Amino acid sequence: MASEPSTDFLPISPLVTLASFSGWIGDHFDLRSLGAAQESAQLIEATAIQGALPSSTDGRVSFRFTFRVRHDWAPRQQIFNVVHSKQGELGGIFLVPVAKDSRGILLEGIFNFI
């Protein structure tokens, strides 16, 4: 998928919560990195970090989430501007490739609201 590369990283959206990500499982997102074409990713998991307390400032709970991308893409750990297919831009999010399964490469992100 070719597109214009991003030029800046976006601030994190207030939509970034465990509740919103849990509701988006199965949805598709665009991952955009500096100097590269965007890639499509599917959200496959979003779970609370065990033992994490809600943030004292805004009540958000720390969580981890996993995207699946295609097999033939070789992502590096980096910040991606993440765009939800319906909700729009969610911000610059650091994602790390953590595994490969029969359907693609898995990227994990963590939001730590302490």
Task: Record the pTM.
Answer: 0.84
Name 28's bridge partners: 42
> 85-101 pLDDT, tens per residue?
888 889 889 999 999 99
Measured torsion, CA atoms of residues 51, 55, 61, 66, in degrees rounded to the nearest 10: -100
Q: What is the DSSP string of 5-68?
A: PB-SPPPPPTT-SHHHHHHTTT-EEEEE-BTS--EEEEEEEEEEPTTPPPPTTT-PPPEEEEEE
| Residue 101 neighbours by CB under 8 Å, 6+ apart | 68
Name 79's bridge partners: 94
Give the pLDDT score at 21. 92
Q: Considering only CA atoms, give the Rg of the chain.
A: 14
Give the pLDDT score at 56. 75
Domains plus CATH for the chain?
A: 18-111 (2.40.10)
